[in-house]
Amino acid sequence: MQKKIIALAIAGLASTAAFAQSNVTIYGRMDLGAAYRAGNSGGVSGIDDKYEIASGVGSGSRIGFKGVEDLGNGLKAVFQSEFGIGIDQTASGTTNATWTNRNSYVGLAGGFGTVVAGRLDGVRYGIFNTYDPFAGGTIGNFTQMTIQVDRADNAIAYISPKWSGFGLVLAYSSNVAGPEPVANDGAAQLHTIMGTYDNGPISARLDYEEVVTGMGPRTWVATAAGSYDFGVVKVSALVDQIKNGSGFKEQAWLIGAKAPVGKFTVKAALGGVKDKVNDDADSIKWALGVDYSLSKRTYVYANYGQIKNDDAATRQINWAANSQTAGYGTVGVDFGIAHSF
């Protein structure tokens, strides 16, 4: 029984430096990996071995267009339109091979901050991916263990300037999917507020959100996360709680580390999800991974992940960050190559 919570954020927008006077940039990522998955644990049984080659194992393949127009007096118009693409099959083989809208927005930026509207990236989703050493991708990612919706439609967000490292994000959506199985009248509303802090080696996020539907109980989520970069290693931690008025309540925690070693980046994570209502429905995942840089834009990766479920838990392993029970098996390994442009 899946419950959903949608949260908004504009990844990287708040930290963007000065825009050029007038430009349009084409950017993207091509990612192809091979994965092996198998294993039985808890409520996951009867799983055979599965090998596959797929687009976006490390992070979704994509192409995007972004730009800015200088309007004068410190005011700028900003826009972005990003599309997910599949580079391993034709459109007849999978819908992922067609262009699918990832995040698109238009807005204004100035001394007051930034206001954008459109289809926006998730705040909570962005927090998990920021403080997860595997950044929401590969077999190792922890974000897939939690209830996630990566983007929301019909949304507007405000990103404040930074004040001595502190910042604020406010977001609203007038049309989000209600938490299942709660009925949704098509007008569920999201309200979210997130405080941010980035100063030198310290980074932190504190987020609170609420989804209100006209035909069911409210859903609440609270997330706190932080990291400290020691130079030789960056450590991170996260705690999260989501609940709704129908009695659902789930908690998650994560600790992670990422260390640069020459051209290598070594990653490790350990996290758990606790069902506060149902007995024997908890899960723990641990993962190890390594990236090797071939250039500033190209790297290869290899990762290992394993999930241990309680008897009634059914979480399965996947490289997609919004796939709590839509994976395959409970043990996996992957390797691949990614190029950004």
317 vs 325: CA distance, rounded Å: 8
pLDDT digits (tens, 9 = 90+) for 26-37: 999 999 999 999
321 pLDDT higher than 90: no
Structure-model confidence comparison of residues 157 and 8, the more confident one: 157
332 vs 131: CA distance, rounded Å: 21
User: Which residue, chain included where needed, has tokens 């991916």?
Assistant: 129
Computed over every residue of the chain, the mean pLDDT equals 88
DSSP class of 142: S
> 26-30, 215-219, 311-315: which has the minimum mean pLDDT?
215-219
**Confidence band for 23, pLDDT divided at 50, 70 and 90:** confident
pLDDT, average across residues 168-184: 69
Q: What is the CATH number of domain 31-340?
A: 2.40.160.10
Beta bridge partners, 117, equal 106, 156
230 vs 308: CA distance, rounded Å: 31
Residue 51 confidence (pLDDT): 95
pLDDT digits (tens, 9 = 90+) for 135-173: 989 999 999 998 876 788 899 999 999 999 999 999 999
264 pLDDT higher than 70: yes
Residue 195 confidence (pLDDT): 98
- Using an 8 Å Cβ cutoff, are 130 and 121 in contact? no
322 vs 97: CA distance, rounded Å: 18
Core vs surface per residue 220-230: b (16+ CB within 10 A) or e: bbebbbbbeee
pLDDT digits (tens, 9 = 90+) for 67-105: 999 999 999 999 999 999 988 876 544 445 568 888 899
User: Which residue, chain included where needed, has tokens 């993207």?
Assistant: 28
Global confidence as pTM? 0.87
Question: Is the alpha carbon torsion for 107, 65, 191, 162 positive or negative?
Answer: negative
pLDDT, average across residues 305-316: 96
9 pLDDT higher than 60: no
State both tokens at 14. 């708040």
256 pLDDT higher than 50: yes
**Confidence band for 20, pLDDT divided at 50, 70 and 90:** very low
